[in-house]
Amino acid sequence: MSTTTGRPKRKTSWTAESRAREKVLLARMDAEPAESPAYIAARDELITMHIPLVEHLARRFRDRGEPHDDLVQVGMVGLIKAADRFDTTRGVEFSTYATPTIVGEIKRHFRDRGWSIRVPRRLQEMRQHISRATAELSQQTGHSPTVAELAAHLNITEEEVLEGLESAQAYSTLSLDSTTSSGDDESDSAALTDTLGDDDIALEGVEYRESLKPLLAQLSERERQIIMMRFFKNMTQAQIANEVGVSQMHVSRLLSKALKELRNGLTDDAF
């Protein structure tokens, strides 16, 4: 099941007409006192006109693990800031001015999420090599490989393996369900649909299950399945990988991502 996120093929039809309209709006914003209804109406329209620009810019950051909608949302903050700060006397187009502000907000969002915008290419490749080697070695030996085995197999140092593993983890703090186009050769396993009933059984006797259930429901099918397998059925990561048909590294990433989401919802339940 490869769900490529649909990329609407919309051409920005930035006609002379809309350009003229933009001028009118900017002139009005210049003339009217801020907070006046006329100013606000013009500002709103200017912002609305440029939503496609935000969407366009947000798409430039696709496949980096953040949901498109989130990027659009933070990009909108940038657009609004730009609308409020734009100075018509500068003689630049509004979109020219707004673009860096929007991109700045999106980048900041990535930084805030603890992930720099550019995963060094070397690490990305390393992550994939390790993932592949882990699968191969598990297949051959019947057990999850050690760091030393991986290092020997890949002809790299143990430190590099650890570095690659950690980069996979950092990557996971963002994305995991959006890996479809990131070059992972892990195919989604199809039949993971009938899990809710199972969840109920596995959660029997868990005191906090009423608070846990809605949170589990918010996870993706696969994350929920993996959480249940690992924490309530005590399967190992390798067993889960085998059963679900994804790599063990991917299981590990899904687990840590799903855990983070659950933690956010279950604040202070521990004390």
For other proteins, the binding residues (CB under 8 A) are 114, 134, 138-139, 142-148, 150, 158, 161-162, 165-166, 169-170, 206-208, 212, 230-232, 234, 236-239, 241-243, 248-249, 252, 255-256, 259, 262-263, 266-271
Provide, rounded to whole angstroms, the least separation between the CB of residue 155 and other proteins: 17
Rounded-to-integer distance, Cα 191 and Cα 184, Å: 20
- Asked if 33 and 39 touch (Cβ cutoff 8 Å), the reply is yes
Q: Which is nearer to other proteins, 20 or 148 (CB)?
A: 148
Burial class (CB in 10 A: 0-12, 13-18, 19+), 102: buried
- Structure token digits, residue 8: 């609407």
- Structure token digits, residue 241: 């990988």
Q: Which is nearer to other proteins, 117 or 206 (CB)?
A: 206
Provide, rounded to whole angstroms, the least separation between the CB of residue 157 and other proteins: 11
Rounded-to-integer distance, Cα 226 and Cα 259, Å: 11
Provide, rounded to whole angstroms, the least separation between the CB of residue 127 and other proteins: 13
Number of Cα atoms under 13 Å in the Cβ half of residue 236:
5
Provide, rounded to whole angstroms, the least separation between the CB of residue 248 and other proteins: 6
Rounded-to-integer distance, Cα 2 and Cα 184, Å: 12
Q: Which is nearer to other proteins, 57 or 228 (CB)?
A: 228
Q: Which is nearer to other proteins, 71 or 165 (CB)?
A: 165
- Structure token digits, residue 34: 């801020």
Provide, rounded to whole angstroms, the least separation between the CB of residue 143 and other proteins: 6
Q: Which is nearer to other proteins, 85 or 263 (CB)?
A: 263
